[in-house]
Structure 1
Amino acid sequence: MTTDQAQPRYDRRAASRVLAGLARPGLFAAIPAPGDTHIEYTCTPLRFEPGSHLTLSQRLYLERFMPPCRPDQVTSATHRVAWTDSDGIPNTGHIRDGGLGPIVPIAVRETALRLWGALAADTALAQRISALRPDESALLAGTTTDHEPVDIFRVGIEACGRALAQHALLARSTPYRTPVEFACGMRDSGIFGAVATRWFWELQASTYRRGMIPVSFAAQSDGSVRYTAETVATLRAMKDATIADAHTVMRRATTTEGLSAPAAIEKYHDELDLISRQYALLPPGTRPACLAAMPHRLDDDHYSLLPVVVEHFVDLFRDTLTRLTVARIPAESEPGTGDDLAAADQIFYVPDMNCKHCVRTITGVLESMRIRVHDIDLISKRVVAEFRSPRNRHRAFEALRDGGYNPALTRAAVAATASGGTDTAV
């Protein structure tokens, strides 16, 4: 029988040091030079509940997972945008009327792709990873959701982009009037570090997918911005509540139900914000810390991974904007709910699938509806599932949207099926 003692070691600081050691000699040494890129996007208004500035999905998530955050503390996007990136992968993002526009989420995605390309091309990094000791690899496996170092770096890059695009919903309350000014202002104001230390992981991922942000900015006399005192207090309260919930579930599972810690995590993993390694395995009285934000002393020098990623991301985002043009096209409607499905119609994409936690959640939603999942590829965001009919697929997509995801059909499937649905943004 598997015991807690037999499980890989859980140690966030030690795992952070392993990642810092891999990154310290240099990340992103060979960033691919892009050509000019033109991207077309669709733009669909969000559907708010009557008398509210929130959608149904936003309100439900707020009520279930964000106490004591109030609705008036949340800013919502006004539109959802969808596009296919330069790698041919469908994407979705959110924007707000009067803000910086769709070029921000689109440029964020293109920036992430270039940095991912640099990781893939970094042979020195690959050699350092292959030289990891077995205990170091086991440490990452026991501590992080994504176990492979390159996957962890990729998720960190994507989280950096999410923070930039999500906070752009607040651009009108800042002194920054262009995407470049906003990105540099976010960096210089330390907002990326604030997200890493004050938010909890699932809050950022889930609110981003839903087009909402539970913070407010206060402009400073030096031209920077900071979170308001109320924002800081609310983020702390939400984080503490999430940790407390995770410990409650863990105590019940390990005492009343007699499960080991790994078995408890396995059983309750689908309670997204309530149980995960990040919270449930923390010793009492401690707080989860972002692995990239932890400082270390390496080679007689102080080193932290987060500032390195942020600096590269902002610089590359600025460069990407000079080579990127975007244009709006009419939105495609969803296919109808008839009786027939071709083999190609079993394929769809989940643009806001960010990590293995998302893969597990999406699989759980589909399998709970007795829909067999044949394949999920995190890189291409591609899912192959055994839908029984167009109606069954339509209901599955609605269930995924209720979970904050925005499934997208292939263009071939859209073109081949008579339109009869409506664009939905929740």
Structure 2
Amino acid sequence: MSTPSYDRRAASRVLAGLAYPGLFAPLPVARPVRIEYTCATVRSEPNSHLTLSQRLYLERFMRPCRADQVTSATHRIAWTDSDGIPNTGFFRSGGLGPIVPIAMRETVLTLWHALESNSALAERISKVATRDRTILAATTTDHEPIDIFRVGIEACGRALAQHALLARWTPYRTPAEFACGMRDSGIFSAVATRWYWELQASTYRRGMIPVAFAAQPDGTVRYTADTVATLRAMKDATIADAHTVMRRATTSEGLSTPAAIAKYHDDLDLISRQYALLPQGTRPACLAAMPHTVDGGHYSVLPVVADRFVDTFATTAAHLSVIEVAGESADETSELAAEDRVFYVPDMNCKHCVHTITGVLESMRIRVHDIDLISKRVVAEFRSPRNRQRAFEALRDGGYNPVATRPTATPDRPQATETAV
């Protein structure tokens, strides 16, 4: 019997089979939540609406997208969520404000807890056949099903918060209305099929979005024709780059496919699995968006997650109050204490981020002792306060937003005994 290899449809079928009976345990009754945040103005370059990090990413990775096709955030916020984990996010003045990224994060947490509390799902995952696990390992960046579902939920939230930068150009005037409008307009599906993963994750971290909306007579919105063409061109360019790297490695250098991916991981970036292994002429499809026949009917994971996310977000936003507070300024000239080795990267959201952040620090000869994806916590051996500050600047140039904030104690969460949405 041959060893299972890269197979997106087979991987999608495995995930759909796990999700179909139900992904989430019953959600707890919503309760009032108050969250404090700090806010800073996003500083663009002179004579530009983009920051340095945004411009560099645009020029290097987003061809043929133009600067005038990109909308940038006007403010960056930082806060600690109800699980005690530091976060950063963006909003644009004239839109819906900071409540969207904060409510988005609280929704992610609620659904993560409901995912992890689903004992029936855990049992199904424990029974996944070895062959199916091998297919996931060969195809996906995160190999464990529970991790794949977690990342998918977070990606759904990123799509919502990122498109909120465009809220003023839509007919939607409240967070709940906006979320419902995005769902009814098919925007979650559009992100899954027209974007590519690294574009969404990297532009989100930088507070930018390369799309524009066109309002429709029925009250929904759609991507403009220019947006659709540009997204397709960016995806095609990314696929071509991945194939060029792999072709050179496997022909000129005579490397096997696994060896080529290992050697050129940084060149391939996150697309190493998703695009580099695609057969020539094949267009990629999002695993969650692929349709399958289950129990005689059509089923795909994406609309199920999007529906639950939007409904939970609307309830969460209605019970959430956000309060701006003054930020704390760090003294980078003081002695470096032992606890200063610890910091947090709120926008670290997958194993690729872990690899990238580790690479940035190690390239500066900073030893990484520990890096935890769930808590966003990093422990690194800085040589001095100045070395620490320079490392933070390097991470920001890469689209991440490290913070020194220490998590507060995790509050007690209500038991999931009654659904509120």
Identify the TM-score tier after normalising by the shorter chain: over 0.9
Count of aligned pairs between the two proteins: 407
Task: Give the counterpart letter for 1:298 in structure 2.
Answer: V
3-state SS of 2:203 partner: helix
- Pairing 1:385–2:372 present: no
Q: Secondary structure of the equivalent of 2:219?
A: coil
Q: TM-score, normalised by structure 2?
A: 0.94
Is residue 371 of structure 1 aligned with residue 341 of structure 2?
A: no
Displacement of 1:27 in angstroms is 1.2
Does the Cα contact within 8 Å between 1:245 and 1:274 map onto a contact in 2? no
Find the counterpart in structure 2 of residue 88 from structure 1: 84
Kept in 2, the 8 Å contact 1:76–1:211? The answer is yes
RMSD (Å) for aligned C-alpha atoms:
1.4
Once the two structures are superposed, residues 185-233 of structure 1 have per-residue CA deviations (whole angstroms, 9 ceiling, x without a partner) of: 0000000000000000000000000000000000000000000000000
Question: Which residue of 202, 205, 227 maps to 1:209?
Answer: 205
Cα contact 2:242–2:268 (8 A) shared by 1 = no
| AA of the residue aligned to 1:399 | A
Structure 1 residue 236 and structure 2 residue 232: aligned? Answer: yes
1:76-126 CA-to-partner distances (Å, cap 9, x unmatched) read: 000101000000000000000111000000000000000000011010000
The one-letter code matched in structure 2 to 1:165 is A
- Check whether the contact 1:32–1:117 (CA below 8 A) recurs between aligned residues: no
Aligned residues of 2:198 and 2:271 also touching (Cα < 8 A):
no
- Cα distance in 1 between the residues matched to 2:236 and 2:333: 44
Secondary structure in structure 1 of the residue aligned to 2:235: helix
Partner of 2:191: 195
Structure 2 Cα separation of the partners of residues 296 and 8 of structure 1: 20
**Which residue does the alignment assign to 1:108?**
104
Task: Pick 1 or 2: higher relative contact order, CA cutoff 8 A, min separation 6.
Answer: 2
Aligned to 1:75: 71
* Counterpart among 278, 291, 295 of residue 299 in structure 1: 295
Secondary structure, counterpart of 2:132 in structure 1: helix
The residue aligned with 1:156 is 152
Instruction: Say whether the 8 Å CA contact 1:202–1:272 is kept in structure 2.
Output: no
Distance 2:244 2:306 in 1: 35
Shift of 1:271: 2.7
Partner of 2:398: 403
Match of 1:343?
Answer: 338
C-alpha distance 116-295 of structure 1, shift in aligned 2 (>3 A): same
Counterpart amino acid of 1:162?
R
One-letter code aligned to 1:231: T
The residue identity in structure 2 corresponding to 1:290 is C
Aligned residues of 1:247 and 1:280 also touching (Cα < 8 A): yes
- Whole-Å Cα distance in 2 between the matches of residues 230 and 127 of structure 1? 46
Q: Does the 8 Å contact 1:243/1:274 carry over to 2?
A: no
1:46 aligns with 2:39: no
Instruction: Give the secondary-structure state (helix, strand or coil) at the position aligned to 1:409.
Output: coil
Matching residue's letter, 2:360: V
Counterpart residue identity of residue 80, structure 2: T
Give, in angstroms, the shift of residue 6 of structure 1: 8.7
Taking the aligned partners of 1:31 and 1:263, their CA distance within structure 2 comes to: 44
Distance 1:278 1:107 in 2: 30
Residue 142 of structure 1 is matched in structure 2 by 138
Q: What is the percent sequence identity of the aligned residues?
A: 78
For 2:128 and 2:15, the matched residues in 1 are separated by: 10
Deviation at 1:290, TM superposition (A): 0.6
Partner of 1:319: 315
2:348 to 339, 350, 353: 353
CA distance in 2, matches of 1:408, 1:59: 23
Q: CA deviation at 1:337?
A: 3.9
Q: Deviation above 4 Å: which 4+ runs of structure 1?
A: 5-8, 272-275
Contact 1:268-1:275 at 8 Å conserved across structures: no
CA apart distance, 1:32: 3.1
Letter in 2 for 1:160: C
Q: Which residue of 1 aligns with 2:418?
A: none
Preserved contact between residue 347 and residue 410 of structure 1 (Cα < 8 Å): no
Q: Deviations over 1:213-254 (max 9, x none)?
A: 000000000000000000000000000000000000111111
CA distance in 2, matches of 1:211, 1:82: 13
Partner SS for 2:40: strand
Q: Distance in 1 between matches of 2:264 and 2:27?
A: 40
2:343–2:379 Cα contact (<8 Å) kept: yes
